[in-house]
Amino acid sequence: MQHDFSHVTTWVFDLDNTLYPPSDALFDQIDVLMTQYVMQALNLDEPAADKIRATYWKEYGTTLAGLMERHDLDPDPFLDAVHKIDVSHIKKNTELRDNITKLNGRKIIYTNGSKGHAENVTRALGIDDIFDGMYGVEHAGYQPKPRRAAFERVFALDGVDPTKAALFEDDVRNLEIPHAMGLKTILVGPKEDHPFIHYHTDDLTDFLSRLVA
């Protein structure tokens, strides 16, 4: 496995449900806040707003992208509101910190959330100071993964050579385009078999432990 990553000079990490497990349930909070925001912004009841939240996520890549394209929603107030979550239950992960630190090359975060959200969550995990860059959807011009233009914009900002990069991501939709761009792809979460997934793990810390051993 180490040989397959010997060419990698940039390690790209998604944030939510990748650097921490889904059992931490941060997205449960975010989904509630998104639904509340949609209710207020579009003057809808909760069931209708919740349906729009889920439908736009599926059709556009993120709920925000759908709201922007269909309703001309201002993205920044939305991002501020939906990321006001409680992270006090998140435990610091010293083993994850050590393993990421041992990776040779740059380490960056790229999330469909905001940079502020990434800073908040990584601070709770105790890993906020080990990354060379953190990029949110705002750095992609509010275009969401899995759009190729979003990846291209963020990678250009950081100077990432896709043929010398690896991506850890929990959403399988966000791995196909990076694979086509030349990245080594690792699905973090339930296993799925697709030709654009090089590796799979349901435990990022364990995977990295074996990679840096």
| Residue 153 CA, distance from chain mean position | 15
Contact yes or no for 177/148 (Cβ under 8 A): yes
- CA–CA gap between residue 81 and residue 175 (Å, rounded): 28
The C-alpha angle 185, 191, 196, rounded to 5 degrees, equals 35
Is 26-82 in the same CATH topology as 3-20+90-212?
no
C-beta separation of 125 from 96 below 8 A: yes
**Residue 163, phi-psi category: left (phi > 0), alpha (psi -120 to 50), beta (remainder):** alpha
Using CA atoms, how far residue 89 sits from 13, 17, 26, 124, in Å, is 22, 15, 10, 9
Check residue 95 and give its pLDDT.
Answer: 97
Q: What is the pLDDT along the chain (213 residues), one digit of tens a residue?
A: 888 999 999 999 999 999 999 999 999 999 999 999 999 999 999 999 999 999 999 999 999 999 999 999 999 999 999 999 999 999 999 999 999 999 999 999 999 999 999 999 999 999 999 999 999 999 999 999 999 999 999 999 999 999 999 999 999 999 999 999 999 999 999 999 999 999 999 999 999 999 999
Domain ranges of the chain: 3-20+90-212, 26-82
CA dihedral 62, 120, 105, 200 (to 10 degrees): -50
Q: Are 91 and 154 in contact (CB under 8 A)?
A: no
Specify the fold of 3-20+90-212: Rossmann fold (3.40.50)
CA distance 3 to 120: 34
- 3 state DSSP class of 14: coil
Peptide bond into 146 cis (omega under 30): yes
Would you say 33 and 50 are in contact if contact means Cβ atoms under 8 Å apart?
Answer: no
Instruction: For tokens 């979550």, name the residue.
Output: 85
Taken in order 41, 22, 162, 120, the sign of the CA dihedral is positive
Tell me, which fold does domain 26-82 have in CATH? DNA polymerase; domain 1 (1.10.150)
Structure tokens at 24: 């931490």
